[in-house]
Chains A and B, each alone.
Chain A
């Protein structure tokens, strides 16, 4: 039974907005041109490929449902639809909410160890009393319940990892070859070239869109994912945390949180920033005064304080009205949404100020004056003349803000006013790593995993932001 959480709904709305904007941009040269330029920059497309992987995982994690409770053997669980048809009696659903990604990674999710274990370890990280077959107790590192459990001889671990890694790589390369063939074939069909011709053009880097870069990045990402998938089936490739949960699984689950914070916050703040900013600049006078005072006041409240207050209030509300929430996931989701809203409230002023300045300038532009002399109404003038001419600022801000917000989430969770502690997020991982790092020997993998995942996303987003800014900035465009 599908469940649509509020953030899910907003994500779908965001995708709809993005698609609508894409269609709009495709028909307008002034928007299509810069995006085409982004598509022609090797850095831009490489970053895009990486981001697409992240977004894909995030989207899979946004399709939530209540799983069926199966009276039968768990082997049938994988094929839900046939079950539904064959089962005549009313299906019973679990109260648990899981996502498609959870279903997909159910192996990872369910293979919980007792406590910490290092990446690729086959033994626990801490010593325990182990009962020997002869009944005696010794203190040592017990074998993990799942990680490397298939190995009879622990000494074979390295060889096994190597073989599985190679196997994963081969699978990845096969997948990549398939994707590449489809891509080249599509391009050849589109351009009316022969397949070989198209392929050799791509490999010699003669295409306008740097397909070679796309394919190389794609190869890298596919091989990495397949190797990881192959190994994760038998090992905890990034170790486990205190309660024995797989860190790799946590990192993957955190992607959605990061993306939601990065994008929904913008969606929340955008209407206010755009409407108020343009109004302040275009109408001036009293309107301008009011809006200016509003954002000056808002931006002088310390952001962290505001966020902490809002989150605490929400928590109190949730404890007092516990009956309104059916599951933990819903509570966590509401808190995430609230965090987005409150982050949006604290971050719209920058864009608003930029837009006010720009509209102030555009209001005096000759074409706006000409429109007024032609009797164009204010609303039309704003929609037709001001908005399209400030859209590049909006675009640049959105892309630049994204990485900042992902990082902000980590910081806020670290000081405990971020997302719900039960929700997977990089911030929470880092927060828990605070204690783990104090252990001796140190538990480093939670922090490292969060760092690597976050770093890759933020780096890709920043690189893309740079390319987008270069493409949209009129001053830079004039120079090239």
Chain B
């Protein structure tokens, strides 16, 4: 028996019929050894998930496998009859999906759903761990045995009190718990290969850390191989052994994780890594990849990345690119490596040049005659050109002293919980429960926390989109929480918001020009239609979209472009403060870099203040001047970005930061594993909200909520265990 478990060669699949089918994977080759984790990395739209579905032969109805072979051990999966393939799915190969919420049937108990998988896939003998014959399965003799196995599986995935949980419905479980149940179902058939399609993308970092750790542990126990599909470089670095980078339906680089992170070979991989924000990149702007992933319905001749590549050569466009091996552990589809290490030297030298004179090179790419990429690449050029002036300004703006533009004091948003026939209020959901924030003019305050901690509600309460139920929101000395709704209109101009999902934040029925001009019209800032159009054109130019966008509908733009339009809409009324509610979390990392660059540039040019709501620590490190960490409706720690991120004092902050997957091994911390999930804000724990999960909790923690401890002039935390 060979070491290789799954061998995929030249796998090609198409979606859709007609003249231009989408070639979602095109000549995919890779293999996975037993017990190994292979990560499939790439931006959205590159065909990662489709590759996984093709392996399982689960393509959507319009899809079909055109050629290639998939060998699991000795059996060729593509030629198996559907009957036998059903046995392989969930049996020898199992899959878990991104959205645990939608992968479980909400009307069946989780135990029953796992039991179904157990009954289907229990092999006759699992004595030697050898792969059993495909068709020889037997049903369990008794239900008791099945139930036992279900509990065993739930225990294996680390669900506390598994016997009780088996009798619960999916909605009674938290997101992390559901993902564990999904894993338990996948494990029911003792798979040799587990395909995990973005298993943690929908989860918070602390939960993500739990799930990844669980996967690693299970892998060590059972010796199964894992194909991990992800877009997160940090996750890859922490969990995978080898990785394959996918771009536009093709694998462009394969390498061991160590070799890859030491020196990514393909220009795409390199750019991808450079565009990840971090504290060390604070000074400058992030690298961006101009343009976007090309649509897959066209025939490609040369390198698919050529149009976006900064080192493109004429030869790149001429013929399909062969594989080259820069070293033993790495192979890459890039002509830069055609001449072996000699070329390599030159190439890396070239990279250096590129980095130092980023703007000139980007201008070159901007002139590439592709209209689709034109818009974005011009934007890059603009961003780059204004960088120098910008960074100078940012240093001056970073002076800590100054009057607070916005200060919240004991801000509360409580939602009444109503029950019964007469809707009597039986309690309050304390989404925000006494939040004190101070934001200086021209600065960025990052509000960090996991989903459900109330950070979005804080943003909305400041804008009075959710009415605050207590506390004050002082904007330039005026308490916005106390004034009447009519008077609030006067301050609408100064306070703006950018939302997370660029697809949902624009009315699909309106032209971009009308969307951006909406505020101008409603607040009466520009009366005439012509004047308004001029202003909108200027704004669109400012965010790098160009005025020709005015006559188009939002759906014609990509996610990054839409987010730029949303920024233009917020800028239209000339605000002083913008609440950015996770503006980049729905975007790919290279697009995220563009948006972050833009936000930074605008701050420097216009002196904007940002309240930046996010769960992404790397973005915080890159962008924020100050950080406030929120847990269950309250701020547990705040201070300057350097203080909080480098020397966190509150146990929650420490755990949160330790859970963030890091690309660089040196930066990794020992993961502080948090037990369980965040409690419901309807019934917060007594005393310190964090104490039930806190690794350092003492008895006193349950008594009263700790008062803030001033650690330095700027840093404070609310924890009993901190000694000053």
CB-based contact B518/A374 at 8 Å:
yes
Contact A388–B465 (Cβ < 8 Å): no
- B508 with A374: CB separation less than 8 A: no
Chain B neighbourhood of A377, CB < 8 A:
522
- Classify chain A's interface size: 20 to 34
Given contacts A30-B509, A367-B507, contact A374 B553 (CB under 8 A): no
A133 within 8 A of B: no
Q: Is B510 close to A, CB under 8 A?
A: yes
Interface-located stretch among B285-293, B302-310, B498-506:
B498-506
Whose C-beta in chain B lies nearest to the C-beta of A374? B519
Measured CB to CB, the closest approach of chain A to B122, in angstroms, equals: 37
Q: Are B499 and A374 in contact, with the CB atoms below 8 A?
A: no
Cβ-neighbour of B499 out of A369, A375, A384, A388 (below 8 A): A369
Distance (whole angstroms) from the CB of B297 to the closest CB of chain A: 15
In the complex, A109→B518 CA distance in Å? 60
Within 8 A of B (CB), among A312-330: none
Nearest residue (CB) in B for A392 is B509
Q: Is B242 an interface residue (CB 8 A)?
A: no
Among B229-237, B487-495, B602-610, the stretch that binds chain A is B487-495
Q: Is B621 an interface residue (CB 8 A)?
A: no
Contacts of B509 in A (CB 8 A): 28, 30, 388-389
**Inter-chain contacts of B149 with A (CB < 8 A):** none
A143 at the interface (CB under 8 A from B): no
Instruction: Report A-chain residues with C-beta under 8 Å of the C-beta of B463.
Output: 373
Tell me if B504 and A374 are in contact (CB < 8 A): no
* Residues of chain B within 8 A of A127, CB atoms compared: none
Q: Which residues of B contact A78 (CB under 8 A)?
A: none
Which among B497, B505, B522, B569 has the highest number of chain A CB atoms within 10 Å?
A: B522
Query: Once the chains bind, are B460 and A369 in contact (CB under 8 Å)?
Result: yes
Are B506 and A367 in touch, CB under 8 angstroms? yes
Q: How far is the CB of B326 from chain A (nearest CB, A)?
A: 42
Task: For B508, give its contact among A369, A373, A384, A389 (CB under 8 Å).
Answer: A389
Q: Does B443 contact A (CB under 8 A)?
A: no
Known: A369-B460, A370-B497. A375 touches B519 (CB 8 A): yes
* B460 / chain A contacts, CB cutoff of 8 Å: 369
With both beta carbons as reference points, the residue of chain A lying nearest to B523 in the complex is identified as A375
Residue numbers in B under 8 Å from A28 (CB-CB)? 509
A388 touches B507 (CB 8 A): yes
- Closest chain B CB from A33 CB (angstroms): 10
For residue B496, CB closer than 8 A to chain A, the reply is yes
Whether A179 sits at the interface, judged by CB under 8 Å, is: no
In the assembled complex, the Cα of A238 lies from the Cα of B500 at a distance in Å of 66
Q: Nearest Cβ in chain A — how far from B330, in angstroms?
A: 40
Chain B residue with minimal CB distance to A367? Answer: B507
Determine the chain B residues whose CB is within 8 A of the CB of A376 once the complex forms.
518-519, 522
Q: Does A385 contact B (CB under 8 A)?
A: yes
User: A383-413: which have CB < 8 Å to B?
Assistant: 384-385, 388-389
Asked whether any CB of chain B lies closer than 8 Å to the CB of A29, the reply is: yes
Chain B positions 48 through 78: 1 when the CB is less than 8 Å from some CB of chain A, otherwise 0: 0000000000000000000000000000000
Cβ-defined contact, A369 with B497, below 8 A: yes
Are the CB atoms of A374 and B573 closer together than 8 Å?
yes
Contact of A371 among B495, B500, B518, B553 (CB under 8 A): B518
Contact B553 A30, beta carbon cutoff 8 Å: yes
B505 A367 Cβ-Cβ under 8 A: yes
Nearest CB in chain A: distance from B568 CB, A: 12
**How many inter-chain contacts with C-beta < 8 Å in the A-B complex?**
66
A15 in contact (CB, < 8 A): no
A434 vs B277: C-alpha distance when bound (angstroms): 80
Q: C-beta contact mask, B336-377 vs A, less than 8 Å → 1, else 0? A: 000000000000000000000000000000000000000000
Closest to B552 in A: A29
Q: Is A380 an interface residue, CB under 8 A from the partner?
A: yes
Q: How far is the CB of A29 from chain B (nearest CB, A)?
A: 6
List chain A residues, Cβ under 8 A from B519.
374-376
Minimum CB distance partner of B518 in chain A: A374
Is B566 part of the contact surface with A, judged by Cβ < 8 Å?
yes
User: Closest chain B residue to A30 by CB distance?
Assistant: B509
A15 to B463, CA, bound (A): 45
Chain B, residue nearest A391 (CB): B509
8 Å CB contacts to A: which residues of B205-248? Answer: none
Distance between A363 CB and nearest chain B CB, rounded to angstroms: 11
- The answer to whether A366 touches B465, judged by C-beta atoms less than 8 angstroms apart, is no
Separation of A375 and B572 alpha carbons in the complex (Å): 13
**A29–B518 CA distance with the chains assembled, in angstroms:** 19
Q: Are A366 and B499 in contact (CB under 8 A)?
A: yes
Kindly state the interface size class of chain B when it binds its partner.
20 to 34
**B6 CB to closest chain A CB, in angstroms?**
31
Smallest CB–CB gap between A283 and chain B, Å? 13
A370 nearest in chain B by CB position: B505
Which residues of chain B are within 8 angstroms of A29 by Cβ–Cβ distance?
553
Output the least CB separation between B422 and chain A (Å): 12
- Distance in angstroms from B419 CB to nearest chain A CB is 16
CB within 8 Å for A375 and B465 given contacts A385-B507, A389-B507? no
Contact with A along B505-538 (1 / 0, CB 8 A): 1111110000100110011000000000000000
Query: Which residue from chain A places its CB closest to the CB of B510 in the assembled complex?
Result: A384
A-chain residues with CB within 8 Å of residue B515 when the two chains form the complex: 367
Question: In whole angstroms, what is the CA distance A377 to B519 when docked?
Answer: 11
Is A374 a contact partner of B492 (Cβ separation < 8 A)?
yes
* Nearest-CB residue, chain A, relative to B519: A374
A-chain residues with CB within 8 Å of residue B506 when the two chains form the complex:
367
Is the beta-carbon distance between A384 and B523 smaller than 8 angstroms? no
Complex CA–CA separation, A96 to B214 (angstroms): 88
CB distance from A387 to the nearest CB of B (A): 9
Partner of A365 from B504, B523, B553, B569 at Cβ < 8 Å:
B504
Residues in B with CB closer than 8 Å to A365 are: 504-505
A36 interfacial contact with B, CB 8 Å = no
Known: A29-B553, A374-B492, A375-B519. A366 touches B505 (CB 8 A): yes
Asked whether any CB of chain B lies closer than 8 Å to the CB of A201, the reply is: no
* A376 CA to B572 CA, complexed, in Å: 14
Residues of B within 8 A of A208 (CB): none
The answer, among A370, A371, A380, for a CB contact under 8 Å with B566, is A370
List residues 563-620 of chain B with CB under 8 A from any CB of chain A: 566, 569-570, 573
Establish whether residues A366 and B501, one from each chain, have CB atoms under 8 Å apart when the complex forms. Answer: yes
Contact B489 A375 (CB under 8 A): yes
A374 to B515, CA, bound (A): 11
Chain A residue nearest to B553 (CB atoms) is: A29
Q: Which residues of A contact B495 (CB under 8 A)?
A: 373
- Within the assembled complex, what's the spacing in Å between the Cα atoms of A451 and B538? 64
A384–B517 Cα distance when bound, in Å, is 13
Q: In whole angstroms, what is the CA distance A473 to B489 when docked? A: 36
B569 touches A370 (CB 8 A): yes
Complex contacts, B492 vs chain A, CB 8 Å: 373-375
1/0 contact trace for B472-498 toward A, CB 8 Å? 000000000000000011001101110
B504, A366: Cβ atoms closer than 8 Å? yes
Once A366-B505, A367-B506 are accepted as A-B contacts, the answer to whether A372 and B465 lie under 8 Å apart by CB is: yes
Closest beta carbon of chain A to B221's beta carbon, Å: 41
Complex Cα distance A441/B241, Å? Answer: 89
Indicate the member of A370, A371, A389 with the most B CB atoms within 10 Å.
A370
A residues 325-381 near B (Cβ < 8 Å) are 365-367, 369-377, 380
The chain A residue with its CB closest to the CB of B489 is A375
- In the assembled complex, the Cα of A380 lies from the Cα of B521 at a distance in Å of 11
Give A370 to B566 CA distance when docked, in angstroms.
Answer: 9
Chain A 141-177: CB-based contact to B (< 8 A → 1; otherwise 0): 0000000000000000000000000000000000000
Complexed CA–CA distance, A369 and B463 (Å): 10
Give complex CA distance A364, B97 in Å: 28
A29–B552 Cα distance when bound, in Å, is 10
Within the assembled complex, what's the spacing in Å between the Cα atoms of A376 and B510?
15
Q: With a CB–CB cut-off of 8 A, which chain A residues contact B569?
A: 370, 374
16 contacts between A and B (CB under 8 A): A29-B553, A30-B508, A365-B504, A366-B499, A366-B500, A366-B505, A369-B499, A370-B497, A370-B499, A370-B505, A373-B463, A373-B492, A375-B489, A376-B518, A380-B522, A389-B509
Q: List the 5 closest A-B pairs by CB distance, nearest first.
A: A366-B505, A375-B492, A374-B519, A366-B499, A388-B509
